[in-house]
A and B are shown apart, each in its own frame.
Chain A
């Protein structure tokens, strides 16, 4: 029974996503699934460790470019490409993590944003020789077909990304329930107390930083394989707030938040861009509005209502979903 409760949320969500595939266009669904993986990393950083990072596009670009370099210069297997992308993100975050996690949260946010801009310049101007600058790297035709799930076919890619998203989601759910997840939350709330309890704040934060940014790099690598090309636009500072907006829109620190946020954000982006064309105006004021009025986000405000409605007849100690 306990195991069932643990799993029902994930089964239901991804079954719903699978069903939605029938009604909604495929590119939209692919975008939503990749975006939700992207937002999950950011959500972990904000909700569990208390670090707001405006530099997520940098890690996205690290993953995407690592994957792209592999697919453009060396191999053809998309699975290996994604693995290389994740490894790239892992190595980079291990290298810069020790420097960044020492910082206060406000400095952390600013340094990360600066990093995103630097990565943008790096890919656009400095490393033109291997990144081809603004033209980007095109390798869609180089990706080879693989047996079971052929990633070059969008519908197969959707199944793959859905499975991967479920895996990532389950991983974060597991983290949340573990002692480590509790430690992360404790560094956010009261780091001194945690230190007195004998835990090492630095290593907890470093691990969280590496986990979250590897997830982001995974999303980047998936974008690279899905689109078949990468360009510096990925790390553009004007998109720096995207994952933060999605996370806050969905509900900070909730497990379903990133998915709900990704659906809402991608949907609005499609509709609004078609209607008024001035996307920045809308998203900017939406962000201000959310921050001022409903900073719990969509899922954060919806969950208590749903819980009350769904679990009315259950005993009060049942945890339900969170």
Chain B
């Protein structure tokens, strides 16, 4: 029943959807690792990115400008939210930030509904080219998405390991107080991380827009999958996020080839199994540091 062609296109599809999950989940994971907040509003920046991409694509006819504009607006929005709201709640419990960010997410969906309406809208794919991989026709756009995610992963890795700011961020993930004691402006570090996370979420939204329909509640639909990616990988771990995003992408994609409803259920079962064995996820740190 499963032909090699189907398998290859399924794997490519899974990789591209996994890339989107990765771009989205990395924001949540970074925010938790550094600031100890559960930032559900990343899904708002994802919706913003997708909606801006739709509008700019309609105006200029070029989707890539839309993606860039979406990233920029998402980064601006996350900057504003961080300065106005999150600044006041860093010192409090992580679940506290979860409620607050859920409020931001729901409120933001209301704003998007106000500007763009509730009707789902398609975004045209920038390139309809297909390439042949082992005799299977694969859309180039999906390969581009995978490539962008790979570049982002390498970029984040280089940023965290090769620049002084990135090293400060990694040190702050381990112990905020010591980094503060070294005279590094932790508050600015937090803002920077939050903006990077927001921009990456916006990028994810923009890249995902041509593959699905753009509507205000698209963030809520992604919520469960992104959560499962972050939980399986372990909160605060970038490597874990990458691994689990790729796994979940394949499970969703190949699962839907075998039995369609399984695509939604299987990640949840995997998550339960992982939590059964390791309650903090694959790469999560066992102790809860503050």
Which residues of A are interface residues toward B (Cβ below 8 A)? 52, 54, 99, 102-107, 109-111, 113-115, 117-118, 121-122, 125-126, 237-238, 240-241, 244, 248, 278-288, 291-292
- Complex formed: what's the CA distance from A52 to B288 in Å? 17
B134 to chain A, nearest CB (A): 32
- Complex formed: what's the CA distance from A109 to B95 in Å? 7
- Complex formed: what's the CA distance from A320 to B271 in Å? 47
Contact with B38, one of A99, A109, A118, A237 (Cβ below 8 angstroms): A109
Number of interface residues of B (CB under 8 A): 45
A29 to chain B, nearest CB (A): 26
Which chain B positions have C-beta within 8 A of A113?
223-224, 227
Which residues of B are interface residues toward A (Cβ below 8 A)? 32, 38, 85, 88-89, 93-96, 98-100, 102-111, 113-114, 217, 220, 223-224, 227-228, 230-231, 235, 261, 264-265, 268, 271-272, 275-276, 279-281, 288
- Complex formed: what's the CA distance from A279 to B275 in Å? 36
Closest to A103 in B: B279
Closest to B273 in A: A99
A237 touches B275 (CB 8 A): no
Which chain A positions have C-beta within 8 A of B280?
104, 107
Closest to A96 in B: B272
- Complex formed: what's the CA distance from A192 to B99 in Å? 26
A292 touches B95 (CB 8 A): no
13 further contact pairs, Cβ within 8 A, besides A114-B227, A287-B100, A292-B89: A52-B95, A99-B275, A106-B32, A111-B227, A111-B231, A114-B224, A114-B231, A118-B265, A121-B261, A238-B217, A241-B103, A280-B106, A284-B108
- Complex formed: what's the CA distance from A60 to B264 in Å? 20
A288 touches B100 (CB 8 A): yes
- Complex formed: what's the CA distance from A113 to B276 in Å? 17
Which chain A positions have C-beta within 8 A of B111?
281
A interface SS class? helix
A125 touches B220 (CB 8 A): no
Which chain B positions have C-beta within 8 A of A104?
279-280, 288
Question: Which of B106, B110, B279 has the largest number of chain A CB atoms within 10 A?
Answer: B106
Total residue contacts A-B, CB cutoff 8 A: 131
Contact with B264, one of A52, A111, A118, A284 (Cβ below 8 angstroms): A118
Which chain A positions have C-beta within 8 A of B271?
111, 114
- Complex formed: what's the CA distance from A237 to B225 in Å? 12
Which chain A positions have C-beta within 8 A of B230?
110
Which chain A positions have C-beta within 8 A of B109?
238, 280, 284
Which chain A positions have C-beta within 8 A of B235?
106-107
A286 touches B98 (CB 8 A): no
A110 touches B85 (CB 8 A): no
Contact with B268, one of A106, A109, A118 (Cβ below 8 angstroms): A118
B264 touches A291 (CB 8 A): no
- Complex formed: what's the CA distance from A295 to B187 in Å? 24
A102 touches B103 (CB 8 A): no
A241 touches B102 (CB 8 A): yes
- Complex formed: what's the CA distance from A102 to B286 in Å? 13
A106 touches B98 (CB 8 A): yes
Closest to B234 in A: A107
B275 touches A285 (CB 8 A): no
- Complex formed: what's the CA distance from A103 to B288 in Å? 12
A125 touches B96 (CB 8 A): no
Closest to A51 in B: B95
Closest to A238 in B: B220
- Complex formed: what's the CA distance from A285 to B114 in Å? 15
B34 to chain A, nearest CB (A): 14
CB within 8 Å for A241 and B279 given contacts A111-B231, A288-B85? no
- Complex formed: what's the CA distance from A300 to B230 in Å? 35
A114 touches B268 (CB 8 A): yes
Which chain B positions have C-beta within 8 A of A286?
103
- Complex formed: what's the CA distance from A286 to B100 in Å? 10
B110 touches A278 (CB 8 A): yes
B269 to chain A, nearest CB (A): 9
- Complex formed: what's the CA distance from A104 to B107 in Å? 28
Please give me the 4 A-B residue pairs with the lowest Cβ-Cβ distance, nearest first: A284-B107, A281-B110, A287-B103, A117-B224
Closest to A241 in B: B102
CB within 8 Å for A291 and B99 given contacts A107-B275, A122-B265, A125-B261? yes
A111 touches B104 (CB 8 A): no
Which chain B positions have C-beta within 8 A of A54?
98, 102
A121 to chain B, nearest CB (A): 4
Which chain A positions have C-beta within 8 A of B217?
238
- Complex formed: what's the CA distance from A10 to B110 in Å? 38
